[in-house]
Chains A and B, each alone.
Chain A
Amino acid sequence: MIKYRVCSLVMAILSCIAIDAYAMTNAEKGLVIAKNQVAKNEGWEDSKSKVQMVLTSSNGRTYERDINIRNLENSDDGDKSLITFNKPLDVKGTAFLTYSHINKPDEQWIYLPAVKRTKRISSKNKSGPFMGSEFSYEDMSPFEYEEFEFTYLREEELNGEVCFVVEQRPKDRYSGYSKRVVWVDKSEYRIHKVDFYDRKNDLLKTLNNKNYKLYLNKYWRQGVSEMVNHKTSKSTKLNWIDYQFGNNFKPSDFNRHSLKRVR
C-alpha cells in the first residue's frame, strides 16, 4: 500500500514535469511560448515613439534617420502601424501605413508628400529593406503568432536571463526568411535575440534587443535594437526614444486619409 502511495506521488511529480516538457511536442511548446508572449503584451491599446536609426556601412560610415512610429492594438485582426519620416529631409513627411492581418496578406500604403500621392504597395514588398536599413518591412511589423509555425529548441542563458529558444517558420511565402530563431526570457517573455535565416537557410542577420524598460507597470519595451547583417557586415541600430502609451489613438488616425496629414 505504501509502495503504491509512493508510486502515485512519483507519478504526480512526473506529470507536473510532463506538462512542462514531455506531454507536449516541441511544436506545441513553441506555440504556447508564442501565445504567452502575445498574451503578456495584450491590452497596451496604443503607443507612440520616436526612433533614431543609425545605419553603418561595411566601411564604418554612418547615416542617420529619424522616424516616428505609432501603433494601434487591434485584437480582432492584426495591429495597425503608422511610420512617419523626419530625416533625411528629402523624405520628410513620407508616411507608411500597415494593416497587419492574421489570415491574409498585410496591406501597406506609402504617402509621398512631394506629389501628394498615396500608393498601395504589393504585399510581396515585406522582405525588402526598410529605408535602406538592415531591417526589412516585415521586421518592423508587429508579431502575430498565427503567421508562424514553431519548434521549441532548448533553454539557454542570455544576458543573465534564462531564455526559451524557439524556431519560428513564417507561413507567408512572401517572407524573406525560411526561419527565425528567437531567444525569449522565461520570466517576462521579452525578446533578447533573433537569428534570421534566409530562404536558402543560411544565417543572414542577428538582432539584439537591449535596455528593456517597464511601462505602465506591465509592458516591457526595448531601448535599443541592433541588427547585424552577416553577409554584408552592415548594421543598423534603432534607438527607441520617448515611448508613450495612452494616446487615445482611434482607427480613424490609421487610415489612408490620415496618412496624408500625420507628422
Chain B
Amino acid sequence: MGIVMKKNEWAFLKKLLAVLCWCVCFSYASATTTFNWEVGFMGMYFPEEGAYEQSDSVFSGRLQSELYHSWNNDEDSIVFMPTYIQHKYYDGNSHFDIKELAWLHVEDRWELTTGIKTVFWGVTESRHLVDIINQTDYTYRFDGENKLGQPMLNLSLMRDYGIIDLFMLLGSRQRLYPNIEGRLRGPLTVNNNFAAYENSSEENSVDFAIRWQHAIDNLEFSVSHFSGTSRDPNFIGLNDNQELMSYYPDIHQTGLELQYIFGDWIWKLESILRSGQLDGKSYSAATGGVEYTQVGIFDSNIDLGWIVEYSADDRGGDADHASERDFFVGTRWVLNDDASSQALVFVNVDSHTGEQVWSLEAKRRLERDWFITVDISVFANTGDAPTLEEFLYQSKLTDNEDVKKLALLDKDSYIQIELIKYF
C-alpha cells in the first residue's frame, strides 16, 4: 500500500490532533456530532486497445467518511474526512489521503481554519484556471474535480469591501500519474516516487496566497495572488528506467475572476498571469463565456442550460495543456425529478488543430441512498497516437503550433460508471 502522506505531514497532523483533542475535551456547550460515510464502486471500459499496451478495463473503489463535530453554538467545528482509494493502475495500487482535517473558528468579522482542507476558486465551467490551492487527484476520475487535501492556515476577514482570505500553505503535494498499465497517458510513464523542486525546502516549502472577493450588485469579482511551489510539474528528463522525472518550480500567479449576472444570462471570465513555470518566462491565459438557462422547457420541470466558453493561452502550441485556443459548447439538462437526474453534454474543439473531445456526464439517485454516475468521453480528430520515437522527436520541436496534443489519447475514449452508496 502506497501512502501518499509524507513524514512532515504526519508530524503536522499529530500536532493538529493534539490541539483538536484539547478543544473537544473543553467543549460542552451545544455540541453536535455527525458521522457519515460513502463507498464508491467504479468500472471503466476502453473500447479500443491502448496505444501503449495498457489495460482495457479498470475496476476501482473508494471509501470516504466524514466526521463533523461542532461546539460553542457552531462557532467552533472540526471536520475529519479521510479517504481510501483502491486503483489498479497507479503505483502502489491504492492510496490513503486526508481530504480534510481542520478546525474552524468563527467570529463575527473573521474566521480561522487550521488544518487540512480543500479550497476552490473559479467561475468558469470548461477550465479551472485560477484554482491553485490544492493538488488535483486524477487517480479515480479524470475530470480533475478530485483534490488532495492541503495543510494550511486560512484567515478570512469579512469587511464592507468584501472578503479577504489569507493563506499560509504548509507544504505541497505531488501529482500522481498512472503506471505502465494505466490509461490516459503518453508513451512514457512518470516516476511517482521522486520529484525535484526549485525551492530548497522541496515539498515542505511554506507558500502564501491571498484572495479578495467582492460583489457590487450583479457583478461579482475576485482578485488573487499565489506565491509558491507550482501544482503543475514540468518534466525535466528521463531516468534510467525510461521514466519521466517531474520538477516543481516556484511560481507567482495572479488571478482574476469575474461574473456578471444579467437576467437569465451569467457572463463569466477567469484569467491568470503566471511567472516562473518554465525558463523564467511568464504567460497569461483566460477562459470566458456565458451560461444561459431556460427554466421549465416545454411546459415541464426540466431546466435546460447552455454554456459557451472560449479558452486562450498566449503560449499557443507551447502551452503544457491542450486548451490553448479551444471552444467549449455544452448543454446541461436538469430534470428536477425525484431522482435528481441531470446530464451535461459538451464538446471541446481546438480552433487551430480541430481536435475534439465529446463528453457526457450524467447522474441520478437510485433506491435508498444509492447513486449512479455515468461519464463518457470520446477523443476525435486527434490523429494517431505517436510511438515513443515520434513522441521523443515531437518533444524536441521548437514549433509546436500544429502538434495535436490529444493524439496521445487517440485510443483512450472511455465509459466510466460509478455506483455510490451513502451511509
Which A residues are within 8 Å of any B CB, using their own CB?
55, 57, 63, 88-92, 104-105, 107, 114-117, 120, 122-125, 127-129, 131-132, 174, 176, 250, 252, 255-258, 261-263
Contact = CB atoms under 8 A, between A and B. Distances in A.
Contacts of B119: 116
Interface of B: 32, 34, 36, 38, 68, 70, 74, 77, 104, 106, 108-109, 111, 118-120, 122, 145, 147, 156, 158, 163, 213, 215, 217, 220, 259, 261, 263-266, 291, 293, 295-296, 301, 303, 336-340, 365, 369, 371, 420, 422-423
Describe A's contact surface by its main secondary structure.
Answer: loop
A90 B163 contact: no
A261 B263 contact: no
Contacts of B339: 132
Given A124-B295, A132-B336, A92 B371 contact: no
Contacts of B158: 252, 255, 257
A123 B293 CA distance: 10
A127 B296 contact: yes
A127 to B, nearest CB: 6
A122 B266 contact: yes
B263 A123 contact: yes
A128 B158 CA distance: 32
A89 B422 contact: yes
A263 B74 contact: yes
A55 B338 contact: yes
B34 A263 contact: yes
11 contacts: A89-B369, A90-B369, A114-B145, A116-B120, A122-B263, A122-B291, A128-B301, A129-B336, A132-B336, A132-B338, A263-B74
A129 to B, nearest CB: 5
A124 B369 contact: no
Contacts of A120: 220, 259, 261, 266
Given A115-B145, A132-B336, A257-B156, A88 B108 contact: no
A123 B261 CA distance: 9
A261 to B, nearest CB: 6
Nearest to A129: B336
A88 B266 CA distance: 29
A205 to B, nearest CB: 13
Contacts of B213: 256
Identify the 6 closest CB pairs spanning chains A and B, nearest first. A89-B422, A124-B264, A116-B120, A129-B336, A122-B264, A90-B371
Contacts of B32: 263
